Amino acid sequence: MQMRKLGNGGLEVSAIGLGCMGLSFGYGPALDKPAGVALIRSAIERGVTFFDTAEVYGPFTNEELVGEALAPVRDRVVIATKFGFDTNGGARHGLNSRPEHIKRVAEASLKRLRTEFIDLFYQHRVDPQVPIEDVAGAVKELIAEGKVRHFGLSEPGVQTIRRAHAVQPVAAVQSEYSLWWREPEQEVLPALEELGIGFVPFSPLGKGFLTGAISETTTFDSNDFRNVVPRFTPEARKANQALVDRLGDIAARKRATPAQIALAWLLAQKPWIVPIPGTTKLHRLEENIAATGVELTPDDLGEIAGAVSAITVEGARYPEHLQKLVGR
């Protein structure tokens, strides 16, 4: 497995990480714990060292799963988790990034993750009620105490990134980025390059759509988040199939899969980009990891760019109430 660096603070991770949310939450029924542990450990055996979770995935159950799976190999892996929501009573109740809350979350996450430190601690969403300087300052104190190693932000705007970074260096920013959601290219990626901050794309396979395994007739489990995503209405899926078809054509020539082309394209954008595709299936895990071996030439990248620019993706990436939490 190739390795990549996030930020300037010595954080080194595998070029492909594992987004663990879907093992417990968001995409239909959760895996039982033994199956989830087995999948995470299969990823380790195949060279993955970077694992992404959050207290609100479940809530709490995903951190517990990740903690159990990684405890025997803690010294070989990097764990990222997140704070920023109220979880009173085990449910999500709006944003909360007050410094005292951040510190309580850190203590609880350390216990669930069975670790003495969190490698990468992200603010999950920007809280407009708390100055980002106060957030960065709280994480800076946790770093000084040895409970956190690196600071991250999820879905922030550029000014928030700059203000936070001035207080405590930001190692990584996490946002959605893929061949069908390229908004970070406009402002975020140039700022990260300037500041020396790594980028961690979540949903790098378009919440599964770019794999080619989803069509307009696919039905999702009642607990699947995609049921409320405008981009996943049957009409939008039918319109967006053209993008997957073009990816499939390119993949066939490269003797790869559409998912591998989508991941290889991300890896080719910058050496400090580390996608974190999620899956519950071993064969998909192996497919995703193998994307690191797909080399895209300048001509390939030009063809992909031309194919994508010729297609207008239909549907918003979030329902309106969730989009309001992004990019502050």
pLDDT at 141 over 90: yes
pLDDT digits (tens, 9 = 90+) for 155-194: 999 999 999 999 999 999 999 999 999 999 999 999 999 9
Structural domain containing residue 283: 3-211+265-294
pLDDT digits (tens, 9 = 90+) for 249-279: 999 999 999 999 999 999 999 999 999 999 9
Phi, psi of 152 (to 5 degrees): -135, 165
Residue 317 falls within a domain, yes or no?
Answer: no
Q: Which of 174, 107, 156, 153 is nearest to 328 (CA)?
A: 156
CA distances from 326 to 72, 192, 319 (A): 36, 17, 11
Q: Read off the amino acid at residue 23.
A: L
Q: How much is the pLDDT for 328?
A: 75
Q: How much is the pLDDT for 324?
A: 87
CA distances from 316 to 249, 319, 323 (A): 26, 7, 9
Give me the residues paired with residue 154 across strands.
174
Give the H/E segment covering residue 236.
helix 234-253
Residue 82 CA to residue 301 CA, distance in Å, equals 33
Catalytic residue among 27, 57, 122, 177: 57
Percent of the chain with pLDDT over 90: 94
What is the 8-class DSSP label of residue 297? P
pLDDT digits (tens, 9 = 90+) for 208-237: 999 999 999 999 999 999 999 999 999 999
Q: What is the mean pLDDT of residues 115-133?
A: 98
Count of domains observed in the chain:
1
Split at pLDDT 50, 70, 90, the class of 91 is low
Q: How much is the pLDDT for 225?
A: 94
Q: How much is the pLDDT for 87?
A: 87
- State both tokens at 269: 């954008």
Residue 70 falls within a domain, yes or no?
Answer: yes
CA distances from 160 to 11, 88, 99, 163, 215 (A): 22, 27, 17, 5, 37
Q: Which residue has the tokens 């989009």?
A: 323
Q: What is the mean pLDDT of residues 279-302?
A: 97
Phi, psi of 2 (to 5 degrees): -70, 155
pLDDT digits (tens, 9 = 90+) for 23-66: 999 998 999 999 999 999 999 999 999 999 999 999 999 999 99
pLDDT at 198 over 90: yes
Q: How much is the pLDDT for 93?
A: 74
Q: Which of 28, 34, 72, 38 is nearest to 18 (CA)?
A: 38
Residue 55 CA to residue 115 CA, distance in Å, equals 14
Residue 245 falls within a domain, yes or no?
Answer: no
Residue 116 CA to residue 156 CA, distance in Å, equals 28
Catalytic site residue 57?
A: yes
Q: What is the CATH number of the domain that holds 142?
A: 3.20.20.100
Q: Assign 312 to helix, strand or coil.
A: coil
